[in-house]
């Protein structure tokens, strides 16, 4: 039963995340609302807020999903190479291709980056 609930949770988060991605790509981060995402996902505002407490939490979820996609692609590419030197260079090879897969969000990720302190013990906050 727990697995079924976990699958439902993941499926709903993905549904909301996909809607958020599309809304943010159209409106930009500063111009969208939770209501916009709810309408796009076919859910109520409360339904979205049940899974994500804020816009910031949605953005962090999206960035984590994109990071996982990039990481999978890097690992897949690294497996193709035999020498340690080539395996270490593997992360450099897919970057131009990655930008073509999700260009608007990579741009958002890049633009949002400086707002996140990268010092140990700090936590990201959207301004």
User: What CATH number does residue 31 fall under?
Assistant: 1.10.357.10
Dump pLDDT digits (tens) for 38-82.
Answer: 999 999 999 999 999 999 999 999 999 888 888 887 788 778 777
122 within a domain of the structure (yes/no): no
Q: What is the pLDDT of residue 6?
A: 87
Mean of pLDDT values over 2-12: 86
Domain count, the chain: 1
Q: State pTM to two decimals.
A: 0.63
Q: How confident is the model at residue 126 (pLDDT cuts 50, 70, 90)?
A: very low
Is 124 inside a domain boundary? no
**Phi, psi dihedrals of residue 124, rounded to the nearest 5°:** -70, 145
């Amino acid at each position: 039963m727990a697995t079924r609930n976990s699958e439902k949770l993941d499926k709903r988060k993905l549904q909301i995340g996909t809607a958020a991605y599309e809304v943010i790509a159209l409106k930009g981060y500063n111009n969208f609302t939770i209501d916009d995402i709810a309408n796009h996902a076919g859910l109520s505002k409360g339904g979205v807020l049940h899974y994500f407490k804020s816009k910031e939490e949605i953005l962090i979820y999206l960035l984590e999903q994109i990071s996982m996609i990039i990481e999978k692609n890097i690992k897949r590419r690294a497996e193709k190479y035999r020498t340690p030197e080539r395996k270490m260079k593997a992360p450099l090879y897919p970057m131009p291709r990655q930008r073509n897969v999700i260009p608007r969000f990579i741009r958002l990720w890049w633009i949002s980056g400086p707002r996140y302190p990268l010092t140990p013990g700090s936590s990201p906050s959207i301004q």
